[in-house]
Amino acid sequence: MSSHKKLAITGIFWNGVQLIINQSFTFIIRLVLAKLLFPEQFGVIGMAMIFTGFVQVLNDLGIAAALVQRKDEDLREAHYHTAFWTGVIWSVGLFLIMSFLLGPFAASFYKEPMLKSIIPVLSIGILFSPINLVHKALLTKVMNFKKMAFIDNTSNIISGCIALILAYMGAGVWALVFNSVATIIISIPLYFWASRWYPKFIWDRDAFNDVFGFGAYTTGTNVINYLINNVDYLLIGKLLSAGALGAYTFAFVLTDTFRSRLMAVINNVMYPIYGKNQSDPQALKKYYLKVISYNSIIVYPIMIFMLAVGQPFIIRFFGEKWIESVVALKILAVSVMVHMLINSNTALIRGMGRPGLEFKLQIIKSVIFIPTLYYGIVYWGIAGAAYAVLINKVVAVIIGQYTFNYLLMIKLTTMEFFHSVKRPWLAAIGSYGLALLMDKILHVHFMITGTTIFISYFLIIYLSMGNELKREFTQIKSLRKTSV
């Protein structure tokens, strides 16, 4: 097994552990809050997160991505210390802007006075997060995802448990606010322990220009990505109501949030792998297609479950108050399945050292998406917003395929592209057809139908690619034994 493949498998394993624990606690917290809160209260949190999330995107200036992408021989000690102090100084400025300008502005924009208090508290996480910037980059460069998984899991477990206690004591939305901030603060001493790196009072202009030149494009791309991914929240909260935004947010939690967390795990592993192989087009293509295939295998049955029995699932577990989210939930489930066709292209383009290209592509997609989204919300509410998201994902797949064939040195034909995902798509279609038969014609209980979806899906996967998965599993087991 190649060293890069060993690193990828190890990284995916430990990030997978992190994903399971993080998602479990996130889901439990969301579940408790959904039981205790109403859509209007969920919507207020969604409004606050729009502004704090945008500033969080700006927070590291893309410096962390630049440190990871650069080869070791191109980096000096000054690069790391300069990156640390730049991030700290920048975050202090952003915190002050959030507390004294954006908080009052958001409260006035949405006519929600509570945002004046929520946004400054959430911004504490923005103030402290750059402290971990260099530590994360160092651990990512050496692909020590085991330590990163331990840190993230520990901080999420501690903050999640406290947040649940606060929720049961009646803290309401503040339980979620606390969880967001505490996770970052708790992780700080753990990252210092893991990396053994400590900042010195060094700031070098040349080092700053070196990493910021790459980071500026990365930050610009992240800003465009954030706007594309969150402009629907902004417009729904403004054009409709906090209740509609809460329902839409809830639909996103059950669909796109899982997809984005999985992509973050895989892309975090693959980004340095792509960087190390940026001069080998065939290796890049092989890794990219495998990532698409395996991500799809994991995500599709969950989306099929939401698509087939999402309505009884929501009503039974969360109550009638969330019924407005059902239509958006089903549309977003389809959009997630489409998105999986391009789920790793961002990491690939950055890993190849082409952040400028990624930035231009995101601008093109935003020009198409935003008018479509506005039109959909005005005429069809949150269902229209979900349809606009679906259209955007389809456009992104088309642009992604064009990029591979004409703008990058990787020549990925349409047949190769669809061949990599044909088995998860066939399994998804087969299990969905069976679910429709059981639900609409035989009127089987939705939990039995949902269980059948997962069983039939993975049975089709096993029959179509069982030998391949066995080989991968055997390699993971042997690798884990040698790494213990």
40 or 101: which carries more pLDDT confidence?
101
Instruction: Check residue 431 and give its pLDDT.
Output: 96
The per-residue pLDDT for range 286-321, each reduced to its tens digit, is 777 777 888 888 889 999 999 999 999 998 888 888
Give the pLDDT score at 271: 46
Q: Kindly report, residue by residue over 215-237, the tens digit of the pLDDT.
A: 566 666 677 777 777 888 889 98
Is a pLDDT exceeding 50 seen at residue 325?
yes
- Model pLDDT, residue 166: 83
SS3 445: coil
Tell me, rounded to whole angstroms, the distance of Cα 317 from its chain centroid: 25
Looking at residue 317, what is its pLDDT? 82
Whether 160 and 24 have beta carbons less than 8 Å apart is answered as no
Mean pLDDT of 412-438: 88
pTM: 0.73
- pLDDT of 375 above 90: yes
| Residue whose entry in the numeric block shows the structure tokens 């947040």 | 163
pLDDT of 482 above 60: no
Average pLDDT over residues 90-114: 89
Residue 467 has pLDDT above 60, yes or no: yes
In degrees and rounded to multiples of 5, residue 410 shows phi and psi of -85, 120
Using only C-alpha atoms, the chain has a radius of gyration, in whole angstroms, of: 22
Nearest CA to 431 out of 303, 330, 273 is that of: 303
Residue extents of the structural domains in the chain? 1-239, 241-484
Tokens of 84: 């640390």
